[in-house]
Amino acid sequence: MKIQQDREAEVEFDEFSRACDLVEDYFGDTIDDVALHAPVSRRQLIAVLARVQLSGRQLALDGLTEQGTVIYQSNRETLLWLDGRFWTDMRGRHHLEPDEGRAAREVHRRIIEAIDGDVPYYNRERDPFVLIERFGQYE
């Protein structure tokens, strides 16, 4: 299954399915809350979040944590405020509609806000990203 335009972004369908299960389990009610007020369906939002996790996983191997500030890190997750254009790049990489990208970004922002506290409602300068580290249990 191709999740991006380039050949390097091909994943097996079962890997994508596991990523969908992983984001659904991790983000839980936050997905429901965002999907309720966004013009994207819950299922659509889960698929977008899964594609972004798979890309984020690859980017983490390439030094993603050096592109921003780590807010929190455990063996389960890494929460980051990234500099640059992370979500813009994800929208282009995965051909996301603007509403899909905004909804996925909002899910990540809410998780970081719950942990970090005093986070501005909307920070155009930095992008929120939660990298879920539990892929190992599925491999």
pLDDT attached to residue 139: 43
Percent of the chain with pLDDT over 70: 82
pLDDT attached to residue 138: 43
pLDDT tens profile 42-96: 999 999 999 999 999 989 888 888 888 898 999 899 999 998 789 999 999 999 9
Top pLDDT among 27 and 7 is at 27
pLDDT attached to residue 66: 85
- SS3 of residue 128 by DSSP: strand
pLDDT attached to residue 118: 66
Top pLDDT among 136 and 71 is at 71
Top pLDDT among 139 and 30 is at 30
pLDDT attached to residue 135: 57
- Please answer whether residues 39 and 99 qualify as being in contact, where contact means their C-beta atoms are separated by less than 8 angstroms: yes
pLDDT attached to residue 121: 56
Q: How many CB atoms lie under 10 A from the CB of residue 26?
A: 18
The residues spanned by each domain of the chain are 9-138
Top pLDDT among 99 and 138 is at 99
Q: Can you tell me the distance from the alpha carbon of 55 to that of 3, in angstroms, rounded to the nearest whole number?
A: 9
The angle at the Cα of 65, spanning 131 to 63, to the nearest 5 degrees, equals 105
- SS3 of residue 129 by DSSP: strand
